[in-house]
Chains A and B, each alone.
Chain A
Amino acid sequence: MSEPAGVRVLDDFAWDEVWGAAKGAAAPCFQCGVCTAVCPWGLVQKEPVNVRRLIRLAQLDADGWGEAIWLCTTCALCEVRCPRGVPVSEIILALRRLAWERRSVPKGLPTMLWAVHWDGNPWDQPPSQRQAWAKGLDLQPFTPEHEVLFYVGCTAAYDRRSQKIARSLVALLRAAGVSFGILADEPCCGESVRTAGQEGYLAEVVAANVRRFEEAGVRKLVAVSPHCLDMFRSHYPPWDGFRPLHYTEYLAELLDAGRLRFTREVRGTVAYHDPCYLGRRHGIYDPPRRLLAAIPGLMLAELPAAREDALCCGGGGGRMWLETHAGERFGDLRIREALGTGAEWLATSCPFCILCLEDSAKVLGAERLKVVDVTELAVRALGEASLPHPALSPTGGEEKGEGAPVRGAP
C-alpha cells in the first residue's frame, strides 16, 4: 500500500505499545508547547529538545523520538509548568523502555545496569567496599530499637567526594544524640534502574528491597540522596509506619526540637541550589534553607532561578552515566549564576548535584566558589564539644583519605 507523500499512517501495534507503556498519560496534552519552551536543553543547545513533539509521538505512534529521550534529566521543570499536568518525564521513561526493546540505547547504560545486578550499585564498585566510607566511625548495624535507619545510598557510599557528605551527616546525627543504624548489606534503591527505563527489572529490585526493609523493621528512614528519597516516597509501595525522609527534613526537625544546635560562627555568604528531586519533586524548599539560616554568621543568597524555577544540575534521569558535551552542561550555567551572587559557597543537598556543579566549577576555573553540601557547612557550625569523634572534626584529626567532612573551605 502506498501513501501520498507527507501522509503518515498510524501503526496500530506501535500505538498500543506506546499508549500502554505510558499508561495513557500523554492523553491530556493539548500541544501548547510550554514544555519545549522551558526545557533547559534549549539554553545549551542550538535546537531545544522538542518535548511537545515527543509527547505528540507518544500520543500517536511509536517512531521518530530518536536520541532526545535520553537527554531528559527528568528535572520536572516542564511538569510544573504544564497547564495540563502531563507527567512528561514518566512518558519519556516509558519511551526509554520501548527503546530497550528495540535495542537502541546509549553506550554505558548496559554496563551500569549490570553493575547494579552483580554488585548492587551503579558505580561498578565491589560490594565488599560498601562500608569503606564509614571506616573508623564505629557505626551500628540497624535494629528496630534505633530511631532511624541511615540509608546511605550508592553514591554517598562509593563516590569519594560524596562520602564526605555521609560522614558529615554522621557527625550531625551524633551531635543531636540520634540513635541510628545502617544496614550492613544496604541494597541499591533502584533509581538508576528506573531512570534507565528498566521497569521490569526495577519491579524485582523494589520487591526485594521492601522485603529486606520489612524484615529489618525499618520505619523512619533518612536518605542522603534526594534520588533515593524519591524512590522510597514515590515508587515503593507504602507499608505500615514507613516514613522515608531526606536528611534536610530530618535535621530541620531536630533543629526545631532543640536537639541540634549550631553554636559556632561560619562567616560568609552561601547560595543554595535546589536539587530537582528535593524541590520540584517533593516540595522540600524550606528545610535546607532553615538549616543554613540557623548557622550563626552565615548569610543566605538566592540564585536568580530558585525554588520551583531552579535550573537542574544536569545529573538526573540517568545523565550521570552518559556523557554531556562540554559547553552543554547545565551545571556551567548554574555556576555562573552562583558567581553572580558573590557568594563564596554554593551549597546543595544532593550528591549528583555536587558532582556536576563541582565539575563545572573546575572547568570554568571558578576557584573562589566552593561547592559544598549543606551538611558540610552545618558540621562546621557544631560546637567543638559536640564533636563526638576525632575523625569527624572539621579541622583535621582525620586519617588520610578517609574523607574529611569539610575540606577546602576558606
Chain B
Amino acid sequence: MIPSAYSPEAARGLWVFLEQEGGQLEGVALELLGKGRELAQARGVPLTGLLLGQGVEGAARQAIAHGADHVLVAEDPLLAPYTTDAYANVATQIVLDRKPETLLLGATPNGRDLAGRLAVRLRTGLTADCTGLAWEGDTGLLLGEVSGFGGGVMASIKCARHRPQMATVRPGIFPLPSPDPERAGRIELVPVSLEAGEIRTEILERVRHEGVDITRAKVLVAGGRGVKGDFGPLTEFARLLGGEVGASRIACDLGWIGRDRQIGQTGFVTRPKLVVVCGISGATQFTVGIKAAGLIVAINSDPEAPIFEEADLCVVDDLFPILEALIAELKRGMP
C-alpha cells in the first residue's frame, strides 16, 4: 500500500476547512465548527480552521465565535474567487507543512471539488458525503457514516493508516452552533506563494441564483392552507424577525408561494432555532421537516389540530389578528 504523504505518527490536530463566499462563511462550515468543537473536546485537541480567500479577517473571527481555537488564514487576491488550482495548491502546501490528523470539509460543490484533489495529492483516503461523524472507541479513528446506500452498502468508513483522515459532510446534517463573540482564539496568517500562471481557469462572470435556502434560516415563519393565499403578513413578520418564510406542500401546490420554500417529507428538512407555524394542520409529512427546530410555535384556529402535539407554544386562534398584533408590537420596539 502506498503510504500517505506524512505518517500517522507525525499527524496532529483536527481541522475544518472554512469555505467562504465574499468573506461570509458557508452554513456548512459553521455546522462543521459546531460538530468539530464536540469532536475536539472529546479528543482533547484544539480545533483549527483553514481559511483561504481575500479579506476574510471577519470570517476568521466568526469562526472563533463558532468554536475554532485557531484559524489559519491564507490571504491572496488570487484566492478571492474559488478556483480548483489555486485552492488545491495552497491548501496542499499548508496541510503538508502542518500535518493535521483529521480534515473535514463541507460537501458543497466547491468542498467536494477541493477534497478530491487534496486526497489524491496527499495520498490519503476520503470519506465523501458523510451524514455522521464519530471517533471509534478503541482506536480513536474517525468514523464517517456514509449514506450512499448504493448497491446495498451501508457503511461506517475509517481510514486506518493514512493521514489526514478526510471527510466531506453533507450540509444541514449538524446543527448550527450559537456564536459566542467573547470566545478567544488565535488567528494566524500563513504566507501564500501563488502565481497567476498556476491557475488554469479564468472567472469571467459570476451569476448568483437569487433563490432562498430555507434550510439555513434561523427563524422560519411557515404558512399552510389556513393562510388562504395571503402570505403578506407572514412575510412581514418573518422580515421583522430576520427570518424566512416557509410553507406546507399544499400552500406551494396552490401556487401561493414558491416550491423552494416547501418544508417536509418531500420538501426541505429544516432546523431553525424558531419556527412559527401558521394555519398548518401538522400532517406527519409536514412535521418531519421541522422536528429538529429549537422552538415550535403554532397558531391554528382548530384546537384539535395535530400540530399542537409538536408545538412548544400553542396559540388557538385566527392567525391573522395574532400576526397583526405581533407585527405591530415588533414595529413599536423599533426605532
- Chain A residues with a Cβ under 8 A of chain B: 100-101, 103, 105, 108-111, 113-114, 117, 123-125, 158-161, 198-201, 320-323, 326, 355, 359, 362-363, 400-401, 407
Contacts and interface: CB of A to CB of B under 8 A. Distances in A.
Determine chain A's interface SS by DSSP, over half rule: helix
Given A108-B266, A114-B147, A123-B284, A326 B154 contact: no
A322 B267 CA distance: 9
Given A355-B285, A400-B304, A362 B250 contact: yes
B152 A114 contact: no
Contacts of B266: 108, 321-323
A117 B282 CA distance: 26
B198 to A, nearest CB: 33
Nearest to A408: B304
Contact of B284 (A101, A109, A159, A200): A159
Interface in B240-254: 249-250, 252-254
Contacts of A124: 288
Given A160-B283, A323-B266, A355-B285, A201 B254 contact: no
Contacts of A109: 149
Contacts of A114: 131, 147, 149, 154
Interface string B274-298: 0000000011110110000000000
Contacts, number: 73
B151 interface: yes
A110 B284 contact: no
Interface in B126-157: 131, 147-152, 154
A150 B150 CA distance: 34
A401 B150 contact: no
B154 A160 contact: no
B150 to A, nearest CB: 5
A321 B266 CA distance: 6
A100 B308 contact: no
Nearest to B147: A110
Interface of B: 131, 147-152, 154, 225, 249-250, 252-254, 265-267, 282-285, 287-288, 303-304, 306, 308-309
Nearest to B224: A362
Given A123-B284, A159-B285, A326-B253, 16 more contacts: A100-B152, A108-B265, A110-B147, A110-B148, A114-B149, A114-B154, A125-B288, A323-B266, A323-B267, A355-B283, A359-B283, A362-B250, A363-B253, A363-B254, A400-B308, A401-B304
Contacts of B150: 100-101, 103, 105
Contacts of B149: 100, 109-110, 113-114, 198
19 contacts: A100-B149, A100-B152, A110-B147, A110-B148, A158-B284, A160-B282, A161-B306, A198-B152, A201-B154, A321-B266, A323-B267, A326-B252, A355-B283, A359-B249, A362-B225, A362-B250, A363-B250, A401-B306, A401-B308
Contacts of B308: 400-401
Tell me which of A105, A108, A320, A326 has the highest count of chain B C-beta atoms within 10 A of its own C-beta.
A326
A160 B309 contact: yes
A359 B284 CA distance: 12
Contacts of A113: 149, 154
